[in-house]
């Protein structure tokens, strides 16, 4: 199936589990499009939801009984298993499309396929943007998705239309391929940023353009929680190899510098 840009828009009843900043960011566009949003979360977002015109449920059972067509899971990576285990799936009133929006893909796919009812569909996604990069709209921003188990094609297409209609680049990809590529890009970027943060790298009066970009990488990485960073490592099986590759590359670079230093060592200068 291609992206949903050709399907007719349909107003959806979307339930969201986990209502942190990223879910709030997505929900605002969904509401702008006319979709009905229900929310449940471990933290109390009742006041915020009231301000946004969203129905907030403290009780997970009541949330599941509110007849959502789609349930979007937007928890932290580290808490996903615990949250899914706590879901009373028997309260569902209908076969439901479950959608995850986590930054790793194989982990939520495995957890949800193992725990959710077989009659429910599963769409694994990763919007490759957030509140900062998407603050001026989603045009040309990438939305990755994997239709893991889809029998209700019109419902799946209607959900994907939320993103395609905003101008996202719709990229269909397996969860495995996503995690392999994300380890080379997202995880590596976060790792470099965290290393620069540990080094307490700061702007200087003589910054080059390249160094300015490194500072931006550091500042962007530390804006995200350490839980997110550790989740990218713990629950992406390809991340460990990238960490090893980084360590090996650093050692090789040091060895090359040491060898060149020996080659160019001036016996006269070395006396001083």
Model pTM greater than 0.85?
yes
**What angle (nearest 5°) sits at the alpha carbon of residue 241, between those of residues 239 and 247?**
105
Name the β-bridge partners of 126.
144
CATH 3.40.50.720, domain 13-173, yes or no: yes
Name the β-bridge partners of 100.
73, 124
Contacts of 97 (CB under 8 A, 6+ apart): 69, 70, 71, 120, 121, 122, 123, 150, 152, 155, 156, 159
CB atoms within 10 A of CB 220: 14
CA 199 to chain CA centroid, Å, is 26
- Between CA 82 and CA 87 the distance in angstroms is 9
- Between CA 151 and CA 112 the distance in angstroms is 16
Q: Which two tokens stand for residue 256?
A: 């090359």
- Between CA 238 and CA 5 the distance in angstroms is 32
Please give the pLDDT value at position 1.
45
Using DSSP's 3-state secondary structure scheme, residue 181 falls into helix
Using DSSP's 3-state secondary structure scheme, residue 40 falls into strand
| Tens-binned pLDDT, residue by residue, of the chain (272 aa) | 444 444 456 899 999 999 999 999 999 999 999 999 999 999 999 999 999 999 999 999 999 999 999 999 999 999 999 999 999 999 999 999 999 999 999 999 999 999 999 999 999 999 999 999 999 999 999 999 999 999 999 999 999 999 999 999 999 999 999 999 999 999 999 999 999 999 999 999 999 999 999 999 999 999 999 999 999 999 999 999 999 999 999 999 999 999 998 888 866 655 54
Q: Cβ(102)–Cβ(77) under 8 Å? A: yes
Q: Cβ(122)–Cβ(113) under 8 Å? A: yes
Q: Cβ(180)–Cβ(238) under 8 Å? A: yes
Closest C-alpha among 84, 170, 167 to residue 126: 170
Q: Where are the domains of the chain?
A: 13-173, 185-263
């Amino acid at each position: 199936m291609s992206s949903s840009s050709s399907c007719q828009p349909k107003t959806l009843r979307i339930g969201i589990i986990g209502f942190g900043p990223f879910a709030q960011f997505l929900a605002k566009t969904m509401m702008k499009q006319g979709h009905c949003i229900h929310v449940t979360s471990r933290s109390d977002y009742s006041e915020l939801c009231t301000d946004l015109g969203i129905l907030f449920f403290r009780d997970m059972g009541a949330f599941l009984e509110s007849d959502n067509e789609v349930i979007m899971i937007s928890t932290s990576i580290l808490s996903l298993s615990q949250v899914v285990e706590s879901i009373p799936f028997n309260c569902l009133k209908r076969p439901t499309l479950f959608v995850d929006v986590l930054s790793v893909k194989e982990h939520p796919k495995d957890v949800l396929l193992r725990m959710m009812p077989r009659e429910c569909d599963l769409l694994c996604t990763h919007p490759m943007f957030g509140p900062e990069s998407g603050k001026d709209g989603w045009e040309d921003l990438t939305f990755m998705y994997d239709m893991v188990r889809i029998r209700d094609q019109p419902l799946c297409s209607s959900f994907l239309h939320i993103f395609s209609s905003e101008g996202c680049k719709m990229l269909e990809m397996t969860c495995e391929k996503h995690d392999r590529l994300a380890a080379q890009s997202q995880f590596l970027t976060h790792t470099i940023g965290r290393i620069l943060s540990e080094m307490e790298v700061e702007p200087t009066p003589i910054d080059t353009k390249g160094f300015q970009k490194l500072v931006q990488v550091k500042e962007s990485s530390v804006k995200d929680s350490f839980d997110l960073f550790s989740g990218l490592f713990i629950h992406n099986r390809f991340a460990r190899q990238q960490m090893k590759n980084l360590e090996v590359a650093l050692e090789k670079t040091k060895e090359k510098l040491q060898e060149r230093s020996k080659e160019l060592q001036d016996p006269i200068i070395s006396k001083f």
